[in-house]
């Protein structure tokens, strides 16, 4: 396992880490951490279908493993298992509603679920997910921005403008928020402001 970690995180060679993660997982199949890291490495190498069994192994061994539920949801979404993905994202949220991953902000489970709802045009559900996420993670600009996207897609231009303005006020360098603010303003007919 530690040899795999050196390859994966130390020298950024995911492909070289995978065989060592496999060996660790095969030697101790009940170790949720080993299965999670193998599944994550497989997901990072664009093999979500191969990642799913190991991520399921991780959540079966440790049912409150929020990161494993999130990665399982991502793998399931990548392979077109959308209902399963939504359930996995919800399990991740229940396990840790304030979950962060790498450089993401708190509430990544809400964000992944909200993004999936937006993708399929379920804008009301997306707004509700983002609002729930913001109740728990009020400082998350990622969730605020996501809510703005759902509002914009839902045609609530005034709400979207207000939401994107809040994001831009907090972080003027967030390019997507500036773009979406301009888009919402243009759709409202405020071309000069846009």
What burial letters (b/e) apply to 162-187, b meaning 16+ CB within 10 Å? ebbebbbeeeeebeebeebbbbbbee
Q: What pLDDT sits at residue 103?
A: 66
Cβ neighbors of 169 (< 8 A, separation 6 or more) are: none
pTM score above 0.85: yes
pLDDT along the chain (194 residues), means of 10: 94 95 96 97 96 98 97 97 97 95 83 96 96 94 96 95 96 93 93 86
User: How many angstroms separate the CA atoms of 149 and 13, rounded?
Assistant: 35
Q: What pLDDT sits at residue 102?
A: 72
């Amino acid at each position: 396992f530690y040899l795999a970690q050196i390859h994966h995180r130390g020298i950024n060679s995911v492909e070289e880490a995978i065989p060592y993660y496999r060996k660790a997982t095969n030697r101790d199949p009940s170790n949720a951490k080993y299965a999670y890291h193998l599944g994550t490495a497989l997901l990072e190498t664009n093999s979500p279908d191969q990642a799913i069994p190991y991520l399921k192994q991780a959540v079966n061994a440790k049912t409150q493993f929020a990161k494993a539920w999130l990665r399982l949801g991502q793998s399931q979404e990548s392979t077109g298992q959308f209902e399963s993905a939504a359930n996995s994202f919800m399990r991740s949220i229940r396990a840790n509603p304030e979950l962060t991953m790498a450089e993401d902000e708190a509430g990544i489970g809400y964000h992944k679920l909200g993004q999936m709802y937006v993708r399929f045009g379920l804008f009301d559900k997306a707004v509700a997910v983002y609002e729930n996420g913001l109740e728990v993670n009020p400082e998350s600009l990622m969730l605020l921005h996501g809510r703005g996207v759902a509002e914009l897609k839902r045609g609530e231009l005034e709400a979207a403008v207000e939401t994107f303005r809040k994001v831009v006020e907090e972080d003027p360098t967030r390019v997507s928020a500036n773009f979406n603010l301009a888009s919402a303003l243009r759709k409202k007919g405020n071309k000069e402001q846009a």
